[in-house]
Every structure is written in structure tokens, then in C-alpha cells.
Structure 1
């Protein structure tokens, strides 16, 4: 029978853990790790390099201070706070003697003190940073234990605080960071209980113009929304509604993205605007819908670990959702904001993440801060990239096919040690990979992997025809590389096969 050649695009549709393997779109991937799907191709992620070093313990908080000409970067490690605005080994701590490095922070330009950042951690007295020094922040309130303040947020020219294990929030006078606070008891409003873990602002247009609403997120999943600017005035503070989400994973997992608010929950990564009409039942409207299987599994396994965080990285065109697998391993679920596609990053073991001067940084378990999205290796170590394409019937679902050749199309700067292997009819991959070789366990994978290092050139397209041998109704290709000095762009795969009988 006459051979056919069918070309399919690389998995530009991104990682998919939602759809059945038999029904997955051909442009999606069963596995996509350290590859970044974008327009017309997938490409290898960049690496990281050491930025600030020699802090005496894990770095659990990073914060950028940005006020006029003053742009500073601070880090918390081993019960101290350091100025890391300049790369290299850190100097003497700005402040020390604390009991916790997990600070909540918010910057505020108040009427008397200028630009300052408030920092609270639920065990130490509140602190402030003015771009030069860390000092005590004056805070008081009737029956308030200031050391219990664990969260801070600024909204409509006021500072808001909340205590650990409490349903209440505290708010300042207009134009003040801290000072004398008044209490607002949210427990009288919430229908499902829980404690306050995050505050955010949500920008909406209710028909009378754009307004910012105050969003209070409870550990139970209640989201309480208020309109106004003065919680002490019935004329300027009104309840908009109470809505229900899955239980939030972290106070650092509520992120404002443009006018939207995205919350990391046990039901997925949920934008508020998509669920207010359907509540928790609308988990399919989560932006993580396509990978919700992986998200829910991670939440079930690791919800109690520290390190869940959401961050927008505009320069990279993606949202980063940090997943704390253990005390030493952190993965990232990455959402391309241009193409609305997903991938997973591994090997970037960041406890916490931050932008500084628009670049991306993470705090390490080793007392260092790292500049991410930089270079072609992970601080000198090769990066392993792994992908498995969706299972594909190649336009003839019931027809057996005998595969004879495969042509991948890549682009790279030099010799490309990348390996491929085929599997047929949903056989479970059982592959291992070393720096430049791929090996499979027959019969799951074709037992003749191919190393493409011979097909190379400076900044060239690499597209060899490779002989293969296998029979099946459908096919999936595994693509794995370990690269340390170059990038790779993957455009497509082309299968050459002979159609056989129908089943």
C-alpha cells in the first residue's frame, strides 16, 4: 500500500491532564516539562544564575521596594532581613533577631512618613522598611495583640491588617500606615466560617464606572466582597456579596492580574470573575481547567507545605504558580498569557518568588537568591526537557498503520543532543534518559532511539528523516533532551507510515 506522510505541529496547545488520552487534541501534550509552548512552536525554558549569596538559611521572603528613584530588594533568611539590591555576597543584616522569615508585606505612601513598606509575620512585632532601614512599625488597637498580625494590605488610602487564626480585620485612618487601628468583625458576615488569610482589590465596572472592590478571602473558601473606602461608615462601606470557592492554598496565592484576581485553591487556579455566578461548582471555569487533574493532585498531596505562590511575570508573558512538593523541591505550573496554554517547570527550587527591576528571582533553600529566566543552564547544570505528544490516530482512527520513518523539525545554535522514541496504542512509557542518550524498555517504546547530535549547525533548522519500526492504530512521540549550553525550538513532527487493514 502507498505510504503516507502526515505532519503534526509540536505541542503548542500545551500540557493537558484533563482530557482522556483517546480524545486529546493533537496539538496538546501528555507530558510537557521545561518546554514552553508559544505561538507556532515550543521552546526550552531558560535557566538561572546566582544573584545574592551567603545568607545563613533558606530564603522565605523576597520583596521589592519601589518608590520614585528608590528601587530596593530585600530578603528574609535565618530570622533576619537583608538588603540584596546589589548582586553578590550579602552584607550585614538590616535587622535581625526575628522568629520567622515568612513576612507579609505591602508598600504605602502615607501622609507623614513618605513611602514605607509594612512587614508582619504573625509572631514578631510589625516592622517597616523605608528603602534604607528596617525599624518597628507603630501599630495599636483595642484588644489587639500586634505580634499576632500576619497579613497586611493597602486599599484606597488605608492600611489593612489581619491576625492569625482570626476572622477580623483591622484598618487604619486615611493616609496612614499602621497607627491606631479599628477592628471590623468579618465573622458576622461569613456563612461558612474560616479565618481571614488574604485581602485583595478587584477592579470592576458596575455600570456607573470603574471601581475597586475589597476582596476578603477566608480559609473556608468564602470570598466576601465590599464596596467603599471607609469600613467605619455605613454610607461608604457596603456588602456586595459572599461567594464560595475551594479552600485557598496560601495567603501568597491570591494575585491581582490587571483587573482580575486569581486565587490558588484546592479546586484549581480560579479567576473571581468566572465563578461569581456559579460559585464552587464552576471549577471548569478555572484558568487551570486544562491541568486541573495535576493541580488537584498537587493540592491534595502538598496543601500543608509552605511555598504556594502566584506571580505574574510580564517579561516572560506568563503566570507562575509555585508548587511546594517538599521542603527541598518546588515545581511551577506555568500559564502562557499570550496563548492560554500550560506547561510545568522543574529544577527551579524556589521557596518564594519576586520581581525586581522587572526581572524574575527566587529564594533558595541554600541561603542564595537566584536570577531566573537567564542563560541556558541551571547554575551550571544541564536542564532536562521532557515531552510526550498526544496520542494521534493520524486521521484514520480504525486503521492499523506500519510506521517507517519520522521527521522532527527543530532549531538550535549547535550540535543538538536530543532523543526521541515512539510508542503505540497507549503503551505506558517506561523511559530513562541520561545527558545524551534515551533508552526504552521494549515493547512499550520502540527499541531504537535516535540521537540527533549529528544533525547540527550554527543557528540552523534540524530536520532529518529517521528510520523507525512499529505498528499500531495510534502513535505518540517522546522527546527528551539535557541541554546546558544552548536552546532548542521544536516546530513539528512528520510521520511516514503505510496504512494497513481496519479493526
Structure 2
């Protein structure tokens, strides 16, 4: 028999862990066991970073989306956005599958009908309902069957034009005032006087003496009974002076001279028109075109928007076959004079990039192939961005800079890609959402690059991959079903299903709907990998335009399943238009910034853990919740 002294269990002491803001952004490729890298010096990243924008010093909740307009009656998706910029003449256009609209200045963001208090529509005596339309009277060209436009601005003959093709319909040429069909023969003007009955757009006008015919595209009235017909498709011409002009809708007048060229047309090979072209770009002051579903490119003469296009067959260049997808000019700092060497890059659907240098294929003294490289399969003809002279192509292996593709084998490109921090998430998106219809855009004013994958055949929720162009940090936006994007006057606009066109990062809600930002920093073992942690309290230190109402939770053992989102933070309406008090309320720019640093009780356990943060914004005023750091206290159980 002997005695043994009983020892009381040691009282556990709370420890504290401080986490800086995840300025490294959303990371899906870092080893789970070493969140700060093998040397422990990697900046803080996040396993989840939804609806926050990573900055060099913090991460901040994105702002909402504000509806700019609704294309048509809302029954068609927005398919393309593009702009025209010539001095003070600056225009923004939006397209659906059937129509192009001028949406530079839109009075009403949505369509609406006026009704009584009982819900009865107010009509006139003819059954017409009173109300308003967002874009009903803003259409500039229509009767299309496809809306996947490729558009480029080009200077020629002292004028600035937009040229657009979509691979299905006759393309367009825009002169800064009017859209015209991009057809062989171009656009002619035919003056008339002594009008008997007005002509009708779309009808065929015929010369009574010459027998010449042409289709009326536009009518410009210049005086009483006088005007100009803009016509195309002229046959059996020319028209002759003083002959009678008639159309199929009883229009009649007298020709005042013969027709004259107004805009040049474009001619391809026999049986080929602008409707067969799916992409257009500029290289060395020439327009280049991709012929859809072929390995053929076409190009025009220098400084010309019309004339006979020359074919550049490339079937013998691309060894993997497929078809030509898009092209772009590309600059590399390797010119013979030490400056930038501009080259022409042709990209195939199979992920081969043929690089050529020189003036044009017909100039054998300067034109030559520099190389053929692999980049992974491109994710659509709009799935690329430009940075300085370089091109970054969204592909099946990541966002690949062309400057890297010429140096590395395809198998090494993922690690060299811009999207490498989110390589796993990128790969999953490609697998689940498909290899087509991705769209990329750079927003220079906000230092953001964005890529929108489709929702996929399974109808996955929409997401937007977003990167800080200065730091390379990534995040993910949810709730924005982006189908096309365009930066205009310093603002990013995007189109959605149902014809909605929205301005990004404005207001505090998504078109009146609250949205939630979520952060889960990378999981950590807190220096004791074999011990279970019991969290006690935690807090996030943020600064925002209000005292926010977040939800802070412990996430144990790599669980990314978050609790229900908190209710939207309620804000005072003093700075919201129509709710302010004159002489007392402040505009958003002058609102004070509030520090939020309250402690919250935590539950749960885990060998590995993280402190999650959720905040919901739903007011007209942006919340601008900026995360500075996070802290939590915890206890460690003894090893058994």
C-alpha cells in the first residue's frame, strides 16, 4: 500500500489570436495545413471572400448594382454592350438578340403602366394604356437573330466609325450618328424633290426611267417635298436625274440627280458576307475579321472600312484544327530598336495562338510567323483582357498572359497564370459552367479585372471572378448574373437576363435586393495542430458608414458552411435623396466613418479553425464596410 497525491487538472487559460485583413484575397490553391505558406510569411488569405474587394491594406464590401435601363420589354437577355467615343460625341449602346439600343441617356430604368388605386390600368379611348417605357423609343437597329456582337472603333478617311459583326446577321457600320448595314456596295445617297407621297424605310425604291432599284435605309427631309434617301443594295443603276421614284408603299417623288457614294461597303469572297464574320479587330491600321467556324481571317486595306477584303487562310498553321476564335494586336518589349514590337495574334478554339509580325500578309518583305503557342482552350471570344500591350486569355487552365505562353509549356501555364491563387475554383467553374460564353473586362478606375462565367446547363447561381489589378488578389461576387460588360465614362456597366443593364458598385443594394458579404480567413491550427480549440469570443474591427450588424461565427475543421446571413444593417436615411433634412443631412461623400469592434460570443470546437464574418447591405446608401483585422480568444485542450 502506498499513497498517491491527486493532481487537479490545470486550469485552461484563454489565448488570443489576431488575424489581419485577408489582403491576399480569395485563395483556393494553398496547402490547407500551411495557410501562411511553408515559411509562414505569406500574407493572410481567405477560404471564402464573397462580395468583398481586396485592397492593399484591407478588404471592403462591394457596393450594389443600380439599374440603368431595361432593354426592350424585358423578354430578351442583354447580350452586348459597346461604346463610341469621338471627342464630345460619346455614346453607349446595349443589344439583345434582336435589337440595338442607344442607352447613353435613359429617363426611365424600367417599364411601367399607370393604374388606379384598385389596380385597373388607365387607358385612352382607343385602349392604349398610359405608362412609360425604358428603351421603347431608343432602338437604333433591329431585326437581328443574334446578339453576340464583336465591335471595334476605327478611324478612316478623317472619320471615326464603329464596325460590328455577330456571325449571324449582316454587320453594321456606325458613323457617329446613324447605324447602317455593312454590305457590299455600301450606302448611297439619292436626293429627291417634288414629293407626291412619302417614302417608307425598308421598301425598295425604283427609278421609272433607269429601272435602278435600292432599299431605303434612312430618310432625311431637307425641305418641303425634298429630301435624301439613304439606300443600299443598288441594282441596275445608276438612277438618273428627273426620273420618277416610287416604292412599294405608294411613295413617290422625282430624282434630283443620280445616287452618290456615302459609306463604303465591304466585299468578301463569293457567297460570303459580313454575316459570316464573328469577330473584328484592328492591327496596323487595318480591320481584320474572323470568318465563323473556319480557320480563315480576312483583312482590308490600310485606313479603310470598306472595299474588297483579302482572305488569309490559316488551316495549315493550326495543327490542332478547330476554328479561328478571335484575334488581337499584341506588343512585346523585344523590338529591334528596343521599343515595343507590335504583333498580330490569332487565337483558335483549341487553344493555339499564332503570332505574326509585319504590315500585312500580302507584304512578304515584312510579314512572317513568329511562333505557334499553346494557352489552353479559350473560354469564348470575349474571354480576354488587355494590360498595357499584353493580352491575358481566360482558358481552361487559367487566366494566361500571352507573354508567359511564349516562354512556358502548356503543362506549366497553370502555375504561371494570373488566376493561380484561385486555380482550384477556376478549374471547377470551367468543369461545371462550360468552356464558352465567358466574358472579361478591366475597370481601370477601380483597379479591377472581372470575369463572368455562364451559369451552366445545371443553372448554377451566378458568380463573378474579380481581381485587384495592382495586387493580384481575387474575390468572388455573387448575385450579379453578368452576360456582358463595358466601361463607359469611368463606370462599369453590365447586362443581365431580362434585358437589365446595371451600373456596378453603386448604392447599397442590388436593384433593391439586399446582398451579403462573407469572409472566412484561411484555416489555422493556432500553433497546436494536435489540440482541440474551444473558441470563446471574437470580433472584427471594421470601419463603415454606419454601426453595422454583422454575424461572427467560429468555423471549425475546414467547414465553409456558414450560418444564416444576418439581417441588413439599417441606416439613417439622411443622405438618401428625398429623405434628407435640408441644412442637417449630409451627402455620402461627407458621412463620418464608424469603427465597429464589438465582441461576440462563439460556440463550437475544432482542431483547425477560422473566424467568419458576414454582413448584409440593403439600403440605398452604401455600407462601405471595410475589414481591418479580426481577433478571437480560445482555449486549448490537453493532448491525451
Common fold: TM-score over 0.5: yes
Matched residue SS, 1:239: strand
Query: Which residue of 285, 289, 313 corresponds with 1:185?
Result: 313
Task: Identify the residue that residue 363 of structure 1 maps to in structure 2.
Answer: 495
Question: Residues 140 and 127 of structure 1: is their aligned pair in 2 closer, same or farther, counting only changes over 3 Å?
Answer: same
How far apart in 2 are the matches of 1:218 and 1:363?
Answer: 27
Q: Secondary structure at the match of 2:311?
A: strand
Q: Is the 8 A contact 2:282 2:329 kept in 1?
A: no
Quick check: 1:111 aligned with 2:157? yes
Residue pair 1:198, 1:254 contacting (<8 A) in 2 also = no
Is the counterpart of residue 318 in structure 1 residue 448 in structure 2? yes
C-alpha displacement at 1:458, in angstroms? 5.8
**Residue 298, structure 1, aligned to residue 425, structure 2:** no
What is the rounded CA distance, in whole Å, between the counterparts of 1:369 and 1:472 in structure 2? 45
**d(CA) in 1 for partners of 2:20, 2:639:** 26
Measure how far apart 1:279 and its partner are: 3.0
The alignment status of 1:66 with 2:85, answered yes or no, reads yes
Task: Tell me whether 1:124 sits opposite 2:160 in the alignment.
Answer: no
3-state SS of paired residue (1:15): coil
**Alpha-carbon distance, 1:325 to partner:** 1.1
Residues of 2 paired with 1:477 and 1:337: CA distance? 27
Query: Shift of the alpha carbon at 1:433?
Result: 2.6
Provide the rounded CA distance (Å) in 2 between the counterparts of 1:28 and 1:92: 46
Match of 2:100 among 81, 92, 102: 81
Structure 1 or 2, whichever has the larger Rg, is 2
Please report how far the alpha carbon of residue 399 of structure 1 lies from its aligned counterpart in structure 2 after TM superposition: 4.0
Distance in structure 2 (CA, Å) of the matches to 1:141 and 1:100:
21
- Is the contact between residue 155 and residue 201 of structure 1 (CA under 8 Å) also seen in structure 2? yes
Q: 1:378-418 CA deviation, whole Å, 9 max, x = no partner? A: 11111111221211122333444333221321112223121
Mapped partners of 2:425, 2:522: distance in 1: 16
Q: Counterpart of 1:174?
A: 302
Report if the CA contact (8 A) 2:332-2:403 is conserved: no
Residues in 2 aligned to 1:397 and 1:391: alpha-carbon distance in whole angstroms: 11
User: Match of 1:334?
Assistant: 466
When the two chains are superposed, the root-mean-square deviation of aligned CA atoms in Å is: 2.1
Question: What residue number does 2:384 align with?
Answer: 254
Distance 1:62 1:436 in 2: 32
Report the Cα distance in structure 2 between the residues aligned to 1:315 and 1:238, rounded to whole angstroms.
Answer: 37
Task: State the Cα deviation string for residues 277-336 of structure 1 (Å, max 9, x = none).
Answer: 223112211100111111111112222553x11110011111011111148853210010
Q: In proportion to residue count, which structure has more strand?
A: 1
8 Å Cα contact 1:221/1:246 also seen in 2: yes
Please identify, of 80-89 and 335-344, the stretch whose mean Cα deviation from structure 2 is larger. Answer: 80-89
Counterpart Cα distance in 1 of 2:631 and 2:612: 14
Q: Any idea what SS the aligned residue of 2:369 has?
A: strand
**TM-score where L is the length of structure 2:** 0.72
1: CA distance between counterparts of 2:91 and 2:173? Answer: 14
Q: Which residue of 2 aligns with 1:133?
A: 178
Retained in 1: the 8 A contact 2:547–2:594? no
> Match for residue 270 of structure 2?
143
State the shift of 1:68 in Å: 2.2
Which residue does the alignment assign to 1:450? none
The equivalent of 1:35 in structure 2 is 52
Query: Are 2:20 and 1:9 equivalent residues in the alignment?
Result: yes
Aligned to 1:228: 358
- 8 Å Cα contact 2:509/2:618 also seen in 1: yes
TM-score (norm 1): 0.91
1:467 corresponding residue in structure 2: 601
CA offset digits 1:349-376 (Å, max 9, x no partner): 2211001112100112122311111111
Structure 1 unaligned blocks of 5 or more: 438-456
SS of residue in 2 equivalent to 1:324: coil
Alpha-carbon offset, residue 252 of structure 1: 0.4
Please state if 1:349 is matched with 2:485. Answer: no
CA distance in 1, matches of 2:97, 2:348: 29
The match for 2:618 among 464, 484, 498 is: 484
Distance 2:383 2:106 in 1: 28
The answer (yes or no) to whether the contact 1:305–1:326 under 8 Å persists in 2 is: no
